[in-house]
Amino acid sequence: MSGAVEERLRRALADQAETTTTSPGAWRRIQAGIEAGGRVRRRLPVQWLVLAPVAAVALVVVMLAVVLNGEGDRPLKVTGGTDGLYLVPTGVEPRFRLAEATDSAPFSPLPAWAYRAFGRRAAGGAVEASVVIIVPADRATAGTMPEPTPLRVLGRDVAVAGDSFGQRILSWTQADGTTVGVTTFGLSQQDLIAVAESLLRDDAATAVPALPTGFAPLGAGRKDGFPLATFQRWQADDGAMFSVIVDRDPGATVEELALWLPGSRAKKVRDTTAMYLGGQESYLTWVEQPGITVTVQASGLSEQEVAAMARGLRPIDDAAWAKLVARVAPTPIPPAAIGLPPDIGPPPGVVVPDPNAYFYIVPVRATLAPPCSLMRVGVILPETVAGREVACYQVIAPFLSAADVATAVAREDRTTGTWAVEYTLTPHGVDRMGDLFREVGAGGQFAILVDGRVVSAPRLEALPGSKGIVTGLDEATARSLAERLGR
Amino acid sequence: MEADAVIEEAERLESLRDRADGVAALYRREYLPMVRLAHLITGSNEVAEDVVQEAFVRMYKSWDRADQPAAYLRRIVVNGCNSWHRRRRLEREHLPRPVAEAVDPEARELLDALARLGLRQRTALVLRYYADMSEADVALALGCRPGTVKSLVHRGLRQLEGMIER
């Protein structure tokens, strides 16, 4: 009997619950109640003003920073101290662990720097390619880019760092000891080198760079210098990672931040965050407080994860967001179209290596950071290790081939357990090698291709004679190469 | 010394901000379900809204004590219904209100009967058969032992049976 009553009661209660209505002003009344209770959110700005003179700058940074304490999934918690300041996003899955955390000494001044930005706009108005010249270049090289690779331009060493969605940063030291940085986006390899060549002079700070057609000035400014307040890198076992970078950046605007990452899609995250996405890599950057910018750079994360991370941080102001969107992303640009100039083929005089040939020695013009697929100009040879691109070599003609080799023999290197092929060049080959060496200069780089793959890319300090060696092979490759070359 | 004060203040501001965000999120998710629950317990939609709004204000104040905000909120709502009931009894002798909104005459009979039960019994039955809560959870919400819930529910059902059979 009571089973029947239970059932009827269940149904009657469910029906009755459906008749419940709510009045429209409910949340306002709750807020009013909260405020009347003495814990008033509106009081916060006043508190802020009272405290500001105590340590205005410290407060701004401290508000942003969160102590780590080994518990990454705690809600935002603020602290600071002699150990430095940390920022922990709350939206991050527990699979991430802190891999690296560095702080520059709080508020130690860097030299002031100036920048000039040039860009080319797509039909929709978004910046699709840009060149930003920075003197000195600390802003460009401060920890956000992978290890730079050296590039030899007009006999000088230029460091090149890049990311997977087309940003390339060049930097070098001037005669007066200052560093020049050039942040580029969407430039072809040729244009990149042309820009660098035109700026490799002592008046780089004011010189007009050799810009590709369609470029116009976007803006210029001056910064008084700031430290990188904190930098953290978080890593997951599946290789996904993200970095959180907090900069003290007086006078930074959302529009200015957009200059460093042009051509990308801007997205709204939470209320006010600017989100830039390009392929595997995502950037989020925003002005957190006047004078403070936050950047989240992630790779291998889904868009949702990056958005969740941003929600765990703090928002920027709505008006700034609206301005950013109006300027940066009138229409979304599909990722594939970002920063890829049309393939215009190799420059005149460059001979493309025959993919069917099994042995080449190729002089290298520049070594660049992967991915090589983003470099659409000239002949780019990728070097892969375990299927992953580790370097991209830009080739200059001409090159030596198997026809220039007289004899070859395979040998095991007992100290490393790898195999090598020692070869001697024909008299014609020796002459060719001399020509190539003169072209690239001492310290010049050559790539050695076996069966279409770059197996090594040594630098040559002195003119080699007729003898040479290919190292780092496995036994089968070494024996087969020696046999074919010795024929 | 000053730096410590600044950090402390920053911590306080941050926690207030978290709290306000948390209460807002809870409101979006739980406001209507809680009003329904309070409606069933008090028998009045209007009273239910007042009780739940007060509960959210209290929720904001004691946010740091709430490990599971939804369960904590439910407890505040149930307590709120209880206080409303007490207040009302002080004002004038409580008479069970007829439940006007229910459509089905059989359901109305049952709900009228429910309204005539004591508050604790009524609350226990609503939590058990409307909110589908376990006896342990009902005990938590009522602030009593699970054994008490068992007897409240059992006797409540028996009384309902007796009333509707008459």
Task: Report the domain count for chain B.
Answer: 2
Asked if B134 has any chain A CB less than 8 Å from its own CB, the reply is no
Predicted pLDDT of residue A164:
54
Go through B149-158 and write b for each residue having 16 or more CB atoms within 10 A of its CB, e for each that does not: beebbeebbe
Predicted pLDDT of residue A384:
81
Containing A114, the helix (H) or strand (E) segment is strand A113-121
Contact criterion met (CB < 8 Å) for B161 and A2: yes
Shared-domain flag, residues A211 and A264: no
Asked if B18 has any chain A CB less than 8 Å from its own CB, the reply is yes
Q: Dihedral of the CA atoms A80, A85, A90, A95 (nearest 10)?
A: -130
Other CB atoms within a 10 A radius of the CB of residue A172 amount to 20
pLDDT band at B1 (very low <50, low <70, confident <90, very high): very low
Contacts of B158 in chain A (CB under 8 A): 2
Predicted pLDDT of residue A290:
63
Shared-domain flag, residues A219 and A233: no
Shared-domain flag, residues A298 and A428: no
Contacts of A5 in chain B (CB under 8 A): 110, 157, 160-161, 164
**What's chain A's average pLDDT?**
66
**What's chain B's average pLDDT?**
80
Higher per-residue pLDDT: B157 or A438: B157
Residue A443 within a domain: yes
Asked if A23 has any chain B CB less than 8 Å from its own CB, the reply is yes
d(CA B84, CA B55): 12
pLDDT band at A53 (very low <50, low <70, confident <90, very high): very low
Shared-domain flag, residues A182 and A289: no
pLDDT band at B125 (very low <50, low <70, confident <90, very high): very high
Give me the sign of the Cα torsion angle A466, A467, A468, A474.
positive
Spell out the residues 6+ positions from residue A377 whose beta carbon is closer than 8 angstroms to its own: A188, A189, A190, A191, A341, A343, A344, A345, A346, A347
- Residue type for A19, please? T
Contact criterion met (CB < 8 Å) for B18 and A75: yes
pLDDT at B153 over 90: yes
Shared-domain flag, residues A91 and A236: yes
Q: Omega of the bond prior to B33 within 30 degrees of 0, cis?
A: no
Query: What secondary structure does DSSP assign to A403-459, as a single string?
Result: GGEEEEEEEEETTTTEEEEEEEE-HHHHHHHHHHHHHH-TTEEEEEEETTEEEE--E
* Top-ranked range on mean pLDDT: pick from A172-186, A358-372, B16-30, B141-155: B141-155
Predicted pLDDT of residue A15:
84
Residue A291 within a domain: yes
Predicted pLDDT of residue B150:
92
Predicted pLDDT of residue A288:
65
Predicted pLDDT of residue A16:
84
Contact criterion met (CB < 8 Å) for B3 and A58: yes
Give me the sign of the Cα torsion angle A169, A172, A178, A180.
negative
Predicted pLDDT of residue A322:
46
CATH number at residue A91: 3.30.200.100
Predicted pLDDT of residue A342:
33
Q: Omega of the bond prior to A136 within 30 degrees of 0, cis?
A: yes
Residue A170 within a domain: yes
Predicted pLDDT of residue A116:
83
For A311-337, write each residue's pLDDT tens digit.
665 444 445 444 444 443 333 333 332
Shared-domain flag, residues A135 and A267: no
Shared-domain flag, residues A236 and A87: yes
- Which residue segment(s) compose the domain that A329 sits in? 58-107+227-337
Shared-domain flag, residues B110 and B153: yes
Residue of B nearest to A28 (CA): B53
Shared-domain flag, residues B7 and B34: yes
* Top-ranked range on mean pLDDT: pick from A147-156, A196-205, A293-302: A196-205
pLDDT band at A163 (very low <50, low <70, confident <90, very high): low
Domain boundary among B60, B94, B128: B94
pLDDT at B124 over 90: yes
pLDDT at A269 over 60: no
Shared-domain flag, residues B5 and B85: yes
pLDDT band at B149 (very low <50, low <70, confident <90, very high): very high
Task: Report the domain count for chain A.
Answer: 3
Domain boundary among B94, B127, B142: B94
Residue of B nearest to A90 (CA): B18
For A195-220, write each residue's pLDDT tens digit.
888 888 777 777 778 888 888 887 77
For A419-438, write each residue's pLDDT tens digit.
999 999 998 888 888 888 87
Shared-domain flag, residues A198 and A263: no
Residue A23 within a domain: no
Give me the sign of the Cα torsion angle B112, B118, B119, B125.
negative
Shared-domain flag, residues B67 and B1: yes
Q: Across residues A23-34, what is the average pLDDT?
A: 73
CA distance A321 to chain B (A): 21
Contact criterion met (CB < 8 Å) for B7 and A80: yes
Residue A36 within a domain: no
* Top-ranked range on mean pLDDT: pick from A164-178, A301-315, B38-52: B38-52
CA distance A88 to chain B (A): 13
- Which residue segment(s) compose the domain that B131 sits in? 101-166
Interface test with B, best of A1, A2, A5, A64 (most B CBs within 10 A): A5
Shared-domain flag, residues B19 and B90: yes
Whats the size of chain B, residue-wise?
166
Across the strands, what pairs with A183? A132, A169
Shared-domain flag, residues A364 and A480: yes
For B41-81, write each residue's pLDDT tens digit.
988 888 888 889 889 888 888 887 777 888 889 988 998 88
d(CA A394, CA B133): 69
d(CA A386, CA A331): 39
Higher per-residue pLDDT: A285 or A370: A285
Helix axes B69-91, B119-129, angle to 10 degrees: 150
Contact criterion met (CB < 8 Å) for B14 and A79: no
Q: Across residues A108-117, what is the average pLDDT?
A: 64
Predicted pLDDT of residue A84:
34
Domain boundary among A165, A190, A223: A223
Shared-domain flag, residues A293 and A421: no
pLDDT at A394 over 60: yes
d(CA B154, CA B123): 13
Shared-domain flag, residues A252 and A212: no
Which segments of A321-358 are extended strands (E)?
A: none
Contact criterion met (CB < 8 Å) for A19 and B45: yes
Out of A120-129, A137-146, B15-24, B47-56, which region has the weakest mean confidence (pLDDT)? Answer: A137-146
Residue A345 within a domain: no
Out of A69-78, A82-91, A316-325, B147-156, which region has the weakest mean confidence (pLDDT)? Answer: A69-78
CATH number at residue B105: 1.10.10.10
* Top-ranked range on mean pLDDT: pick from A113-127, A267-281, B103-117: B103-117
Q: Provide the ipTM.
A: 0.83
Predicted pLDDT of residue B88:
63
pLDDT at A228 over 60: no
For B8-53, write each residue's pLDDT tens digit.
666 666 666 677 778 878 887 888 889 999 998 988 888 888 889 8
Contact criterion met (CB < 8 Å) for B126 and A16: no
* Top-ranked range on mean pLDDT: pick from A271-280, A327-336, A459-468, B138-147: B138-147
For A450-469, write each residue's pLDDT tens digit.
887 888 888 887 787 888 88
Q: What 3-state class would DSSP assign to A149? A: strand
Percentage of chain A with pLDDT > 70? 52
Residue A34 within a domain: no
pLDDT band at B5 (very low <50, low <70, confident <90, very high): low
Q: Across residues A235-241, what is the average pLDDT?
A: 73
Q: From the CA atom positions of chain A, what is the Rg in Å?
A: 29
Shared-domain flag, residues B4 and B57: yes
Whats the size of chain A, residue-wise?
487
Choose the closest CB to B56 out of A30, A48, A55: A30
Shared-domain flag, residues A129 and A90: no
Percentage of chain B with pLDDT > 90? 16
Shared-domain flag, residues B90 and B105: no
Shared-domain flag, residues B127 and B87: no
Q: Omega of the bond prior to A371 within 30 degrees of 0, cis?
A: yes
Shared-domain flag, residues B50 and B74: yes
Asked if B101 has any chain A CB less than 8 Å from its own CB, the reply is yes
Q: What 3-state class would DSSP assign to A270? A: coil
Shared-domain flag, residues B50 and B87: yes
Domain boundary among B59, B76, B94: B94
* Top-ranked range on mean pLDDT: pick from A42-46, A140-144, A214-218, A241-245: A214-218
Dihedrals phi, psi of B165, to nearest 5 degrees: -80, -20
Shared-domain flag, residues B66 and B106: no
CATH number at residue A397: 3.30.1360.200
Contacts of B24 in chain A (CB under 8 A): 27
Do residues A324 and A286 lie in contact, with contact meaning Cβ atoms separated by under 8 Å? Answer: no
CATH number at residue B29: 1.10.1740
Shared-domain flag, residues B4 and B85: yes
Asked if A9 has any chain B CB less than 8 Å from its own CB, the reply is yes
